[in-house]
Amino acid sequence: EIVRTFDHKVLGNLQGGVELANLEVPRSHVFSTHIEVGTPGQELICLLDIGSADVWVPSKRCKDCQEEHLFSTDASKTFMPAVVQAATGIEAVPVRASFPDGDILGFLVQDTIAFAGADVAWKNQSFIIVEDEAILQKRHWDGLCGLGFRALSDAGTPLYKNMPPGERAIFSLIPNILGGHLTTYLSIGEMPHNSYE
């Protein structure tokens, strides 16, 4: 009999988890999820990235964005741009972020973000609204959800620093077999017990 226990001191430590021992994820594999941004929520597909801490979504005003889903600031009742006092008056905070595949240019903003299927929402979550991009085209995701630490952030407050009340800053990607196919789901706030039992 194999006994599977989770060591809470080490995130992701599945002791005796033999079914995970031979798990291989190819380099070309990416994890993405559906998110809703704004109030009411506008659905986008977000690439989950542990190598950054920024969240960015393409703006409806973006000229070069090829994504299927674009965020409309005018359609959200909770949208708020970040502004600074400049010599010429109040201005939006510009942000440029570089990635291995190219750059994005946009503005620092805040709005509500919710992950699909989650019962919680990040209110006043800062993110970059992209007005111009020069990155990988023909991708299956619209924006990026950085799950990394603050040191990996180009702008704003990382998701883990703005967790909804009562939630712990734990993001887990959990492999699972569903309908005979290997899949992965995102767990927020706690590692579900049924994922390691």
In which residue are the tokens 């992701």 written? Answer: 12
Could you identify the residue written with the tokens 């889903």? 69
Name which of 81, 108, 84, 80 is nearest 94 in CA terms.
Answer: 108
Residue 19, classed as helix, strand or coil, is helix
Tell me, what's the pLDDT at 15?
43
Return the pLDDT at 18.
Answer: 39
Tell me whether residue 190 is exposed, middle or buried, using C-beta atoms within 10 angstroms of its C-beta: 0 to 12, 13 to 18, 19 or more: exposed
pLDDT for 118: 74
Is the CB of residue 121 less than 8 Å from the CB of residue 165? no
Helix, coil or strand: residue 74: helix
Give residue 1's pLDDT. 39
Residue 74 has phi, psi (to 5 degrees) of -65, -25
Check residue 194 and give its pLDDT.
Answer: 61
Q: What is the pLDDT along the chain (197 residues), one digit of tens a residue?
A: 333 343 444 444 444 443 444 445 555 667 888 899 999 999 999 988 888 889 999 999 988 887 789 999 999 999 999 999 999 999 999 999 887 778 889 999 999 999 877 777 889 999 999 999 887 777 788 999 988 888 888 888 888 888 877 777 777 777 777 777 777 767 777 666 665 55
3-state DSSP assignment of residue 119: coil
In whole angstroms, give the CA distance from residue 114 to residue 61.
22
How far is 103 from 100, CA to CA, in rounded Å? Answer: 8
**Per this entry, what is the length of the chain?**
197
